[in-house]
Amino acid sequence: MEGLILRLLALLFLICLPLPASASADKFNADMAKLLQTQGLQGAVWATLDSNAMLVGAAGVKNARTGKKMRPDDRVHVGSVAKTLLAAGVLRLVSQGRLSLETPVSVLLPDVAFENRWADSAPVRLRHLLDHTSGLDDARFFQVFSLAPGPDTPLADGFIGPDSLLRLRSRPGAHSSYSNMGYTLLGRVIESVTGERYESYLEAHLLRPLGMLESSFSFVTQAGPRGDPRLAMATLKTVPRTLPFPRTCVQRASSLAPRPTWENSRAS
């Protein structure tokens, strides 16, 4: 249930709704508070955008035990929304001519050996990873529910296991099938091309130029050496949080303050 709460919280965090001119901020905030109550959620932060302004707000609590109120500048884990920015980082490299959407992944990552019976005519290309048409399975249970991976575990370690981890179920480009492991490979592609960790690259060349100084791809938890007291998770976790092997797909924390500088959206 906590996982569901966090996913919904992350979804609400990134909602951009056109706000009717007649609607007041107070009424909208009250509606959001009611939504939390009816859905059984602890807290949420959000942003609404119309042609004139952006409104940010928060409702509920960041800690159910203490009752501490949620604030718009509290940080939250945004889950798979991280994939959107990871894809933007890949497309930035494409726009610079450092990558091509048509390049076979095996050229970019020679150690990745797909079991692809269509390889002669349909290799897995970079664009297939981006749009979930590679034919790869999604993550297995052992890749998600494991105590082995940590914030510094090489992304390649997520593919150590049965040979079938890289077996394609369909011809690349033929069908859409959501794959966290495809985006794990995209993280590896970024690292291969740039020579640095994907987290560092995306923070330096995407988040910082956009003014998203309170967003991070680095691992953040509530307690321990990577702890952040502003991280809202509804319940306090005093033991270290674990990560899945495909951390590229979920590892991102963000806040609505300061607001992104959209006019500076052309990253350096």
CA 259/CA 192 separation, integer angstroms: 31
- CATH code, 87: 3.40.710.10
Half-sphere exposure (CA, 13 Å, Cβ side) for 76? 33
pLDDT of residue 45: 82
Closest CA to 172 of 110, 109, 108, 103: 103
Q: Which residues of the chain have pLDDT under 50?
A: 1-17, 19-22, 245, 250, 252, 260-268
Assess whether 93 and 182 both reside in one domain. yes
Residues with active-site annotation: 80
pLDDT of residue 242: 57
Does residue 72 contact residue 56 with C-beta atoms inside 8 Å?
A: yes
pLDDT of residue 261: 46
Partnered with residue 47 across adjacent β-strands are 56
Return the structure tokens found at 154: 């090489």
Q: How long is the chain?
A: 268
pLDDT of residue 164: 65
134-193 residue pLDDT tens: 998 877 666 666 666 677 788 887 777 766 678 899 999 999 998 888 999 999 999 999
Does residue 94 contact residue 101 with C-beta atoms inside 8 Å?
A: yes
DSSP assignment letter at 167: B
Beta strand segments in the chain, E? 43-49, 54-63, 68-69, 76-77, 253-254
Question: In terms of residue numbers, what domain contains 19?
Answer: 1-60
Domains in the chain, number = 2
Domain end among 202, 234, 263: 202
Assess whether 94 and 148 both reside in one domain. yes
Torsion, Cα of 158, 163, 169, 172 (10° steps): 70
CA 164/CA 204 separation, integer angstroms: 35
Q: Which sign does the torsion angle of CA 179, 185, 186, 187 carry?
A: positive
Assess whether 157 and 54 both reside in one domain. no
CA 50/CA 48 separation, integer angstroms: 7
pLDDT of residue 256: 57
DSSP 203-235: IIIIITTTT-TT-BSS--BSSSTTB-TTB--BS
Assess whether 38 and 119 both reside in one domain. no
Does 258 sit behind a cis peptide bond, omega within 30 degrees of 0 on the bond before it? yes
pLDDT of residue 160: 74
Return the structure tokens found at 79: 């889950």
pLDDT of residue 268: 39
Is the residue at 119 inside a domain?
yes
Return the structure tokens found at 250: 């979920």
Is the residue at 207 inside a domain?
no
